[in-house]
Amino acid sequence: MEDLLSQARQEPLWNTNRNIVVGLTALSLFLVVFPLFGPGPFYLHLMIMIFMYAVMSQSWNVIAGLSGQISLGHGAFFGIGAYASSYLYVQYAVSPWLGILAGMFFAAIIAIAIGIPMLRLSGHYFAIATLLIGISIQVIFQRWEMVGAASGLWIPLTEESSWTALQFHDSKMPYYYVFLGFFVVTYLLVWRLSSSKIGFRLRAVRDDPQAASSLGIDISKYKIIAYAISAVIMAPMGSLFAQYILIVDPERMFNLEISIMVLLMTVLGGIGNIWGPLLGVAILIPLSEYTRIYFGGTGSAVDLILYGLILMLICVFRPDGLISLFPKRWLEREKQR
Amino acid sequence: MTFEIILQAIVSGLMMGLIYALIAAGLSLIFGLMNIVNFAHGEHLMLSMFSSFWLWQLLGLDPLFSIPITIVLMAFCGVLTHYLLIRYILKAKMLIQICATFGLSIFIRALAQFLWTPDFRSVNQPLLEGRIEIAGLFIGQPQLFASGVCLLAFALLYLFVSKTETGLALQATAQDREAAEILGIPSNRMFALGWAIGLGCVGVAGGMMTNYFFIFTDVGVNFALFAFVAVALGGFGSIIGCLYAGIIIGLVESLGGLLIDPSFKLLYVFAIYLLIVIYKPQGLFGRY
């Protein structure tokens, strides 16, 4: 009993640990002033990708790390977000800001619609089902004439950079701050979530479904909540990415690689730990951008070879992720007095 | 739409279904044995097709004759997979097991794309080609041959697992690893054997499909998905269940494509999966 208790205390939540507070303050100050040093567009792009994937991996972490369900088709929600905001903008000139909200709404609805029948499944069955769903949604969007079928949607360019249309043509700096904002808000919210009642119940469901259910926790309800939250986190990134590259097509937005990346980054960093995804992203995004520079586009697949290899190595040697390499006292809460 | 067209669709669905069934049997065997789903199954199928293709391209060996070589190569690949990767994750959490075989699938597919480019290839003028007419139905010769071999492979697999001593040892390990070890059955070697047979099945299927399919690096993706569905439909770990399930999937795919819309074939099969796992999670012929 004592064992379990101390184990539970060690679980890295938010904490009053001074190292982390100091580290985070320094990091956020650095991130806010970073563009003012005038880094080139490449470094701004790199940081934008890091923010984007950090949020996406955190989304995957919520469903896999907190509630223990593996989703192999999580890119679907990314694409849904992208299509929702872009379609509203292209057809009805709705500001992408509202489009983002619409995307989150649709993602939540779809997650709940999928979740109600599927989250009763466990383990392998759910993983396979999500793989099938990811591919099915791509197939549907490839054939769906209303949203441009296989050629997708082009977002019409505004004449000048505009905050309402969320398009910036002269500099990547505004994009940087928009992505940074979403990144910070998401991490704060997930931290709140993980130490909230829902968070604890989710973890109980993950670790011992039977015990959780005997304590009166409605297992499938909480799994669905986690799935919907995870989808809601994912969707805005799709919308923002669509605004960033200004084109939406099924090949790009529902690419299986998105689902692979978020899984890989989270597992690499440390699954079930709020900092895990960030660590994984900070390692993999620079790696992927540099391999792209040295080996050309993704056609040669060198980056994917590396990802596959890394994923297997992590699973064999460090199933808790690289975050477990850090000394425990950095991460755990200070001793209760 | 005439009766003949529907009959034709049924026959081709049946023949495709047998291939799905054999691929699924390999998956099911591995799953039943060690409770690990091989998410790289489609990539193993792709490898077996490439093995058969290169034997033809480089050595001029017709895919018909290279099937035994492909089987041996794939069985070896299975043993290798077990000893290099699976052995280390046997006791890991399920989440890690899924990620590991998923990583293997990414790795194999990307490596194949890197080595052989994503081009589509095919075997020119294999020994078996063209089609024959039976009672007004046109049946591709390689497909017909493949169906026969699939049935034979199923019969052999069934006999092996249920009648030979090694097969019984395999079943014992599947049922209770520790009890089997106490009786002197080395579980690690049984697992390796399971992988060898599982991928051997894929080798048979891939070797025959080389005759009438394009060979490219993503070829396995859809087959693996259908195999997952077939395994769930037939009941995890049931070999005969796989046979029926594969046939059902082949028929649904071909009839759905004919009667509704061919571009949504995947969705029909997916719908079956959902119905099955929700209403009859033990599968149609499951043991559990």
| Position A337 confidence tier, pLDDT thresholds 50, 70, 90 | very low
Look at residue A2 in the predicted model and tell me its pLDDT: 59
Dig out the tokens for B257 from the structure. Answer: 């494509």
Q: What is the mean pLDDT of each run of 10 residues along chain B (288 residues)?
A: 82 90 91 87 93 90 88 94 90 86 91 87 78 77 87 90 87 85 87 92 91 87 87 80 89 86 80 80 65
| Position A74 confidence tier, pLDDT thresholds 50, 70, 90 | confident
Q: In angstroms, rounded to a whole number, what is the distance separating the alpha carbons of residues B194 and A35?
A: 56
Dig out the tokens for B99 from the structure. Answer: 């990620």
The domain ranges of chain A are: 2-331
Q: For a pLDDT cut of 70, what percent of chain A falls above it?
A: 89
Domains of chain B: total: 1
**CA neighbor of B229 nearest in space, from B240, B245, B210, B252:** B245
Q: What digits encode the pLDDT tens for the residues A86-101?
A: 888 888 888 888 889 9
Q: What digits encode the pLDDT tens for the residues A106-136?
A: 999 999 988 887 777 767 788 888 888 888 8
Residue ranges of E strands in A2-55: none
Cα–Cα distance list, B91 to A195, A264, A316, A334 (Å): 29, 20, 11, 32
Q: In angstroms, rounded to a whole number, what is the distance separating the alpha carbons of residues A142 and A152?
A: 8
The answer to whether domain A2-331 has CATH 3.40.1130 is no
B272 close contact with A: CB closer than 8 A: no
List, in order, residues 6 or more apart from A258 with CB less than 8 Å away.
A56, A74, A75, A78
- Per-residue pLDDT averaged across A221-236, rounded? 90
List, in order, residues 6 or more apart from B98 with CB less than 8 Å away.
A70, A72, A124, A127, B37, B39
The minimum CA-CA distance between B266 and chain A, rounded to whole Å, is 7
List, in order, residues 6 or more apart from A62 with CB less than 8 Å away.
A190, A193, A226, A229, A230, A233
Task: Indicate the pTM of the whole model.
Answer: 0.85
* B153 within some domain: yes
User: Across-strand partners of B215?
Assistant: B121
**CA neighbor of B2 nearest in space, from B258, B251, B248:** B258
Q: In angstroms, rounded to a whole number, what is the distance separating the alpha carbons of residues A233 and A236?
A: 7
Q: Among B107, B114, B278, select the one facing A117 at the smallest CB separation.
A: B278
- Per-residue pLDDT averaged across A247-269, rounded? 85
- Rounded to the nearest 10°, the torsion over CA A195, A200, A203, A208 is 160
Chain B, nearest residue to A142 by Cα: B263
Helix (H) or strand (E) holding B132: strand B131-134
Look at residue A232 in the predicted model and tell me its pLDDT: 93
Look at residue A271 in the predicted model and tell me its pLDDT: 85
Helices (H), chain B: 3-34, 41-59, 63-81, 87-89, 94-116, 141-163, 165-175, 177-182, 187-209, 220-234, 239-259, 265-279
Mutate to test the interface with A, among B30, B83, B107 (most CBs of A within 10 A): B107
Residues of B in contact with A304 (CB under 8 A): 106-107, 109-110, 113
A66 close contact with B: CB closer than 8 A: no
Counting one residue from chain A and one from chain B, the pairs whose CB atoms sit within 8 A come to 126
- Per-residue pLDDT averaged across A205-220, rounded? 83
* Selected residues 318-337 of chain A with any CB under 8 Å from a CB in chain B: 319
A304 close contact with B: CB closer than 8 A: yes
Using an 8 Å Cβ cutoff, are A254 and A137 in contact? Answer: yes
Look at residue A299 in the predicted model and tell me its pLDDT: 55
**CA neighbor of B99 nearest in space, from A136, A304, A266:** A266
- Per-residue pLDDT averaged across A308-333, rounded? 79
Residue ranges of E strands in A243-337: 247-248
* B2 within some domain: no
Q: What digits encode the pLDDT tens for the residues A300-318?
A: 678 888 888 988 998 898 8
Using an 8 Å Cβ cutoff, are B105 and B42 in contact? Answer: yes
Angle at B142 between CA B136 and CA B148, to 5 degrees: 90
- Per-residue pLDDT averaged across A250-261, rounded? 83
* B246 within some domain: no
| ipTM here | 0.86
* B258 within some domain: no
Residues of B in contact with A117 (CB under 8 A): 274, 278
* Structural domain that includes position B144: 8-112+138-218
Chain A, nearest residue to B109 by Cα: A305
* B230 within some domain: no
Look at residue B1 in the predicted model and tell me its pLDDT: 63
